[in-house]
Chain A
Amino acid sequence: EAQVTQNPRYLITVTGKKLTVTCSQNMNHEYMSWYRQDPGLGLRQIYYSMNVEVTDKGDVPEGYKVSRKEKRNFPLILESPSPNQTSLYFCASSPTGWGTQYFGPGTRLTVL
């Protein structure tokens, strides 16, 4: 089954404790992206990757890191999480940056 998976689905952590949210897709898509979704603000792009080892900032990259060492995986790293990073995070993949985004199930992160 074609899908985008994210782990963990739910995470409660404390300020400053490094964490990684994994994202994997099995559709051989070139383009992968991370979004955060907050009430009233919609989906905002954090980082995106056009291919292996090629990443670029979206609209809200501060406090996040990404890497794309393999085509299928695109982890999101929070080196020192803060409460304002409490949000619902979605990973998505697409054949191209212009194409249909296929979303993972979401990760609900709470930073205390």
Chain B
Amino acid sequence: QKEVEQNSGPLSVPEGAIASLNCTYSDRGSQSFFWYRQYSGKSPELIMFIYSNGDKEDGRFTAQLNKASQYVSLLIRDSQPSDSATYLCAVAGGLGTSYDKVIFGPGTSLSVIP
């Protein structure tokens, strides 16, 4: 079982719609959860981080964390063509030897259609 899983996509949504990206993780002790955006040929950049159960909103982005279900999601409201990118879920602060490791999921490719 992969430690961090994401739907690889591609996920296509029309401009103005809500894009929903999902991520599950296997280490129940994980403490920190991140969403990075990566444009083709570029390095990843942070979109959101979340540490506590519930929702966290920042502009058009909302991260949702459910530690009991080991599930974290990213919602993008009013999707724009400039949101077209690969979205990487990352998990850190796991149990034991995983404490200082950062585990990334394989990424979900999002395409926003004008």
* A positions within 8 Å CB-CB of B: 31, 33, 35, 40-45, 48, 50, 56, 58-59, 90, 97-101, 103-106
Contact = CB atoms under 8 A, between A and B. Distances in A.
Given A90-B43, A90-B44, A106-B43, A101 B102 contact: yes
Looking at chain B, what size class is its interface with the partner chain? 20 to 34
Contacts of A40: 8, 106
B40 to A, nearest CB: 11
Nearest to B8: A40
A49 B48 CA distance: 24
A104 B31 CA distance: 24
A100 B43 contact: no
Interface stretch (B10-18, B64-72, B74-82, B85-93): B85-93
20 contacts: A40-B106, A42-B105, A43-B44, A43-B90, A45-B101, A58-B101, A59-B103, A90-B43, A90-B44, A97-B92, A97-B101, A98-B31, A98-B92, A100-B34, A100-B46, A101-B34, A101-B46, A101-B90, A103-B44, A103-B45
